[in-house]
Chains A and B, each alone.
Chain A
């Protein structure tokens, strides 16, 4: 392995701490290094930051507006505030905004943050617009429930530039009407989708769900607390992709891949992702 030596480091101030991070690191990296927890939605460790959700914003001295910590590179001498009134306000509003139009019942982490920042989605005009999309069950591998979609673009990135280069989906439409969509919303089997499930793996709200999970949830039998996760290696070719087998009642119920393994970086193909049910 070639290890890139990080000779240069930049030091920034995060709240009341000085943090040194390697050059090229983001403010979010610095927050993590400082042990400051930061809410994120559109950020993914294996994805290019698109900085669209704006929940990770921080106050940067000298900057008029807040800045997204996930994508802003740390620069020497930056002074960052992660818990100022303005930061708390914008984070609360982002979480509140999402909760007014999206079903976040399976986005546990977001729910915790919403509580943390005191988001109150009930104070809006009753009967406001919502995502209002039917669940799309078009095959036996995964489902799309866009009522739960926060438009974080992670699935689009995983399907496209950042991993799979299939580009079966894109953001279509504009404004509040924007949706993740295939061309003309054709069903997945008619689209370019190759069922790698890498979109499902990066979805933060369960809008994309493996069919196995969806069915168990429908049967009220999805029990994450009873599940074990075992890391092993896929048998379907010689590449050596690491799998995380999620097992409930001695049955595999879904398959993911570790983000931090440099062979897969969280990605798999259709065989590795779905081909386990003969076990």
Chain B
């Protein structure tokens, strides 16, 4: 966004906001407890708008659901921006004070009239106008998103298109207003904060910045590589080129979770050595040359995780790890020692104190403060600092506290890279269900009465293909075919099909998904594949639905 990567707002703020724009997120199922806070906001009178290709369980709580075509988010965001400008609702004072690039932005959104947006996105023009007016005239408003925005080949542009709306209206940097990406894992925020990304040290210090590097080298006692590394997608490209021959995978299951997974598995199989450190025998672990059993971070280890509201909280061991499973930190340190390196403290508290000495935004988070119930939100620079409820308050400061004005972005609508065709006429999108998590490695182990594995289809689409509820169908994309059971869902727009990613052992959905990826984030376009659906057999003999 415009600074460190993190949701700008606290959960408590959504309870007090006036307009909620939930965009490409089914938080009701993917972030249920955050949704409790959202519902308090709605109960307190907030109006809620939901933009999503599917009429999700979240959308059912909305005042207005707009079911856009998959991958047309930038067109809609630009259209909303244009309408705000044309209606005279842009916050010109804020724009002049805290932003740059407005004129170019305003010119760029000019073609996105409500009618033009309606044609691109497949929603009525008045919905564009209504959302624009509601968002711009609200006292406070939040835009929230998840993978519906980011699992596209132009993920970062999608995010920036939403940031533009906040800059246009001043809905950022103050209590109740903000831009909130909801994180999918308990420490995806913390992982980035801690430097588990290819180009940053902890605290978002760039590896290519000599000053930052010097600080870290001083503490780590050795020179550090100044060249940003590869993210996962680049690693797979490197594997394909033969540049990457050895892979050490910790707590990730790319053999199931990568888009175009058949291709990904082939790359993993071609490695000289694959080491997997995990808590369970994932499909990736089954392919590995060496498996290092690890303890369960949140139930068997000491440490911290950081949530979507930048809150650092303690995890603690409740049970002891089984068999030969060991804590990740011990495995890593031993591995390093075997290679002749000393990684530093193994004690979680000592490691944390080292981190605090290097990452200013964590500086005030003493271990005993974290111990106290509740955790602390970064930035928290010193021990008297209470933590920060929201980010970017500087946008409203007289002198911007020394920051450069926040930039508008000029963004073009592209749409999904894989266009629908006669051969592949349906749009397949993927997502999560309430009772399951990612590739189901963990969540598949409990007995959920809600579990469903299959393909959701519009009844009219199904009827045209001779498919009835419960029929076995074959779903094919340019990359492969997968069989599953069909479920007819009347609220799903025609032309759209949906399945979750949770049951790869039953439905190898990533055989189908589109690997085209965003060069800025490395994320693949999981959300938009072109597919064909065909009837396989009658339900009497159809295969399993789980649970």
Q: Check A-B contact in the complex, CB < 8 A.
A: yes
Does A40 lie at the interface of the complex (its beta carbon under 8 Å from any beta carbon of B)? no
Please name all residues of chain A whose beta carbon is closer than 8 Å to the beta carbon of B320 when the two chains form the complex.
250
Contact with B along A137-175 (1 / 0, CB 8 A): 001110000000000000000000101110000000000
The answer to whether A237 and B184 have CB atoms under 8 Å apart is yes
Q: Mark A173-205, 1 if CB is under 8 A from B, else 0.
A: 000000000000000110001111000000000
Of chain B, the residue at the smallest CB distance from A140 is B447
Q: Which residues of B are at the interface with A, using a C-beta cutoff of 8 A?
A: 10-12, 30-34, 36, 39, 43, 61, 175, 182-189, 279-280, 296-300, 305-309, 311, 313-320, 373-375, 386-387, 389, 434-437, 441-443, 445-450
Contact B280 A262 (CB under 8 A): no
A interface residues, Cβ below 8 angstroms from B: 1-2, 139-141, 161, 163-165, 188-189, 193-196, 228, 230-243, 245, 247, 250-252, 258, 260-265, 267-272, 274-279
25 chain-A/chain-B pairs, Cβ below 8 angstroms: A1-B10, A139-B447, A141-B448, A165-B61, A193-B449, A232-B299, A232-B315, A234-B298, A235-B186, A236-B442, A237-B31, A237-B437, A238-B307, A240-B306, A240-B375, A245-B299, A247-B319, A252-B319, A261-B374, A267-B33, A274-B448, A275-B435, A275-B437, A275-B446, A278-B446
Q: In whole Å, how far is B417's beta carbon from the nearest beta carbon of chain A?
A: 28
A269 to B26, CA, bound (A): 14
A164 / chain B contacts, CB cutoff of 8 Å: 36
Let me know if B445 and A277 touch, CB within 8 A: yes
| Complex A-B, nearest 4 residue pairs according to Cβ-Cβ distance, in ascending order | A238-B183, A240-B307, A269-B32, A230-B318
The reply to whether A194 and B434 contact each other, CB–CB distance below 8 Å, is yes
Is A240's CB under 8 angstroms from B448's CB? no
The answer to whether A271 and B186 have CB atoms under 8 Å apart is no
Q: Which residues of A contact B300 (CB under 8 A)?
A: 279
Task: Check B299–A252 contact: CB distance below 8 A.
Answer: yes
- Please, how many angstroms separate the alpha-carbon atoms of A261 and B11 in the complex? 12
B434 close to A270 (CB less than 8 A): yes
A194 engages B450 (CB within 8 Å): yes
**If A237-B185, A247-B319 touch, does A2 touch B33 (CB 8 Å cutoff)?**
no
Residues of A within 8 A of B314 (CB): 231-233
- Using Cβ atoms and an 8 Å threshold, which residues of chain A touch B30? 237
Instruction: Output the least CB separation between A142 and chain B (Å).
Output: 10
**Chain B residues whose CB sits within 8 angstroms of the CB of A234 once the complex forms:** 186, 298
**Interchain CB contact under 8 A, A241 and B33:** yes
Decide: A189 and B449 in contact? CB cutoff 8 A. Answer: yes
Closest to B373 in A: A261
Contacting residues, chain A, for B296 (C-beta < 8 A): 279
Q: A195-B435, A231-B316, A233-B305 are in contact. Are A279 and B448 (CB under 8 A)?
A: no
The answer on a CB contact under 8 Å between B36 and A163 is yes
A1 touching B450, Cβ below 8 Å: no
Chain A residue contacts of B11, Cβ below 8 A: 239, 262-263
* Residue numbers in A under 8 Å from B279 (CB-CB): 278
- How near does chain A come to B375, taking the closest CB pair, in angstroms? 7
Tell me the complex Cα distance, A235–B280, Å: 15
Q: Which residues of B contact A252 (CB under 8 A)?
A: 299, 318-319
Q: Is the beta-carbon distance between B309 and A2 smaller than 8 angstroms? A: no
Nearest chain-A residue to B386 (Cβ)? A1
- Cβ-defined contact, A238 with B185, below 8 A: yes
Q: Which residues of B contact A236 (CB under 8 A)?
A: 186, 437, 442-443
| Contact status A237-B435, CB under 8 Å | no
Which of these, B10, B188, B448, contacts A238 with CB under 8 Å? B188
Q: Is the CB of B449 within 8 A of A235?
A: no
Q: Which residues of A contact B442 (CB under 8 A)?
A: 235-236, 275, 278
Please tell me if the beta carbons of B186 and A240 are within 8 angstroms of each other in the complex.
yes
B387 and A1 form a contact (CB under 8 A): yes
Question: When chains A and B are docked, how far (Å) is the Cα of A251 from the Cα of B39?
Answer: 35
Q: Residue among A195, A235, A240 with the most chain B CB within 10 A?
A: A240
Q: What's the Cα separation between A261 and B313 when bound, in Å?
A: 11
CA distance A251 to B319 in the complex (A): 7
Are A238 and B317 in contact (CB-based, < 8 A)? no
